[in-house]
Chain A
Amino acid sequence: MNPNSTLRWFRFASPQTFFPLAGTIALGCAAAAALLALGGLYVGLVVAPTDAQQGEVYRIIFIHVPAAWMSMFIYVVMAGWAAIGLAFNTRLSFMMAQALAPTGALFTFIALWTGSLWGRPTWGTYWVWDARLTSELILLFLYLGFMALHAAIDDPRRADRASALLAIVGAVNVPIIYYSVQWWNTLHQGASVSITRAPSMAATMLTGMLLMALAFWAYSIAAVLVRVRCIIRERE
């Protein structure tokens, strides 16, 4: 790679340089999120057929599954930024980790809430202490713990480092959530969508779910970039 082009990319490690770029990307992602969500809701609530076994209540998966994916993915990204921050002592990395936590916590709450409302009519209960549900609840506590720890320390640099450590240690919970349905006997069913095998659902259902997943992705990027712009202004 041309060393000059590498240097150009490193420019964006500076909060001041990243600030306007984040604004532009956030705007594009917010527009994309709105369009994708409209498409996903139309496919999920209008086009997708009624499920033969679960009836209409299965339509909750169009938000539950994408929210659960986002809750885990955002945590991995947050731990990644925290690790980069600790390794290279870059301010923007810690700011990104700090900006990701509230959105990650929100998607974890949505996954738990919608899962609970799906569980009542299908399992007969809102909650069971099985491995998938419990590990997802622990993820919510990890997000809340990260934010609480950051807020509890007055010196931002020390707060960054302490919460980064928590984020990295807590990352061990993500594979536990993902593989819990394989490692233990859980009431929660296994994955319906996998990269390694064909999906076990109708094409329209899968389309609706993927559109909503993309909408949540775009929303998350927009929300996190707007928040990181706030953090930059508050700290710089």
Chain B
Amino acid sequence: MSHGFFIWASYAVTFAALALEVVFLFRRSRRAGPSRQIK
């Protein structure tokens, strides 16, 4: 296997994992309700 595969598999999975965390955070944030409830 070429070195390119190992490099791109590393970068792609890293940024996909980080993007997934951001998506989950946004979904959780929406579920948690509006922030104006916190006084």
Contact = CB atoms under 8 A, between A and B. Distances in A.
Size class of B's contact patch? 20 to 34
Overall SS of chain B's interface: helix
Contacts of B6: 57, 60, 117-118, 120-121
Contact of A57 (B7, B14, B33, B35): B7
How many residues of A sit at the interface, in one of the four size bands?
20 to 34
Contacts of B25: 223, 226-227, 230
A102 B6 CA distance: 25
Contacts of B21: 102-103, 106, 223
Q: Say what secondary structure dominates the interface of chain A.
A: helix
A57 B3 contact: yes
| 9 pairs of A and B residues whose beta carbons are closest in the complex | A233-B32, A57-B3, A114-B10, A230-B32, A117-B6, A60-B10, A19-B38, A230-B28, A117-B10
16 contacts: A16-B39, A55-B3, A60-B7, A63-B11, A64-B10, A67-B14, A118-B6, A118-B10, A120-B1, A120-B6, A121-B3, A223-B21, A223-B25, A230-B31, A233-B37, A236-B38
